[in-house]
Structure 1
Amino acid sequence: MKAGSEDQKDWQMANILVVDDEMGIRELLSEILSDEGHVVEMAENAQQAREMRIAGTPDLVLLDIWMPDTDGVTLLKEWQRDGLLTMPVIMMSGHATIDTAVEATRIGALNFLEKPIALQKLLKAVQQGLSRGQEVARPQPTYFTRPAAPHDASPAPHIAASPVAGSAVMQPAIAPTAAPQTEPQRFNLSFDLPLREARDAFERAYFEHHLAREGGSMTRVAEKTGLERTHLYRKLKQLGVEPSKLGKKNL
């Protein structure tokens, strides 16, 4: 996972299934989401999507409505009927009517994106979907704390509610672990280099540092460095920096 809080880690590094019959759209969405640190699987039709869903539960599905064999709304109904609609699903279409979007939402789709999909809308919808998935998948347990005895320096154990009525299970309290401190990176730059090479070397180290700290998230690196995402993409490509590899190094 990436650096940061547990919640950030969970929605940053997610398994996302993209279902769309257009290769260009699948590859574009895969590239964008991979740059954000996610693991992306692709299906070009409903049958492939069925097989991937049976093989495992993705954290999020981006599902196209109009596909040649089985349309996305029909597939959504199948998953809902068979109890497989346990993950957030975001529908996509360039030709769907409002009625179609409403029907998909009624069945269980979390959101609807109209093609061509704006980058910021995509990232916002994905983040909201993953956050919603966390809330559903992780109910918080209830704990009851026994007061510590006077002059008792040891931490009081927690009593966790047991499924058996009238019983309780004693669990030792675990002190929160402090977040590990990240050691500052040392960067050696030779002043004997030509100015252009020295500048490129510095910029490469600068962006690699921020990408590693932010787990490869292009959105947060753009915010940190004050660059537009499109400018940031061009700059990293020019410098030969690969965000996805740097994100994986920080897992």
Structure 2
Amino acid sequence: MHKVLLLALLVSPVALAQSVSVEPNSLMRLPSSASVLQLERLDVADYGTLLIPANLSQVSVDELHLGREARITIVPGSTGLQLQVRNAQLEHGSQITSRGAPGTHEKPAKAGRDLTLRINALTAEELLIDARGGAGAQGYAGLDGANGVDPGCTWGSAGRGHNGDNGGDGLPGGAGALVRVELPQSFPAEQIKVWVDGGAGGLAGTAGKPGRGGQSKGCLVYQADGGEKGRPGLEGQPGPAGPAGSVTIQRL
């Protein structure tokens, strides 16, 4: 019977812990072995950061304390996160971040991760949540044109420089998250600040430079003229911003 209970705990999707503490100016990542985590106390000291991995879908905390400029950073993921707190004390500048990741040329910008935050009792100057989408990648830079061939004294004329390539268009930004905040009726609305803007579009790709024409050459009998330079490419277009998310405030 004891072996069966031990096996059940090892494979359980719920992880239990008494307390998690993040030291000042340090970074800690919660374990990713379970999809649900229950904590008696979570303390992130001044300027500390706690990472919540993408596979965690629910975190429950009895007592939460975020120090000055402390962060809870939620890693982008395809499923939303439920963060449930019985009693929270948030110091000046502390923040919960659920931002999307910036894009690359190989991967699109990620959306802010959807978040449902429930706090039964809250002591704070402000509640700050940043759930904006990730920024899009810059467009490819256009290649510079090749230089023209220099003339010879007994044959040929100088070659014209090749044109520069056009820059690529910037890539789209990621979408802002869907955020639902459930707070006590007594917490002032003006002290709730949630950002769910779409991520900025990628910058335009730069234009390729024109190649220079073949260089003029002074020969024994005559002067060989230089070639014309090519045309510069065109700059790409900036990428579009991602769509904004939404915010729902529910009073308890």
> What interval of TM-score do these two structures reach, taking the shorter chain for normalisation?
under 0.3
| Larger proportion of strand | 2
Length-normalised TM-score, structure 2: 0.21
Structure index of larger Rg: 2
Length-normalised TM-score, structure 1: 0.21
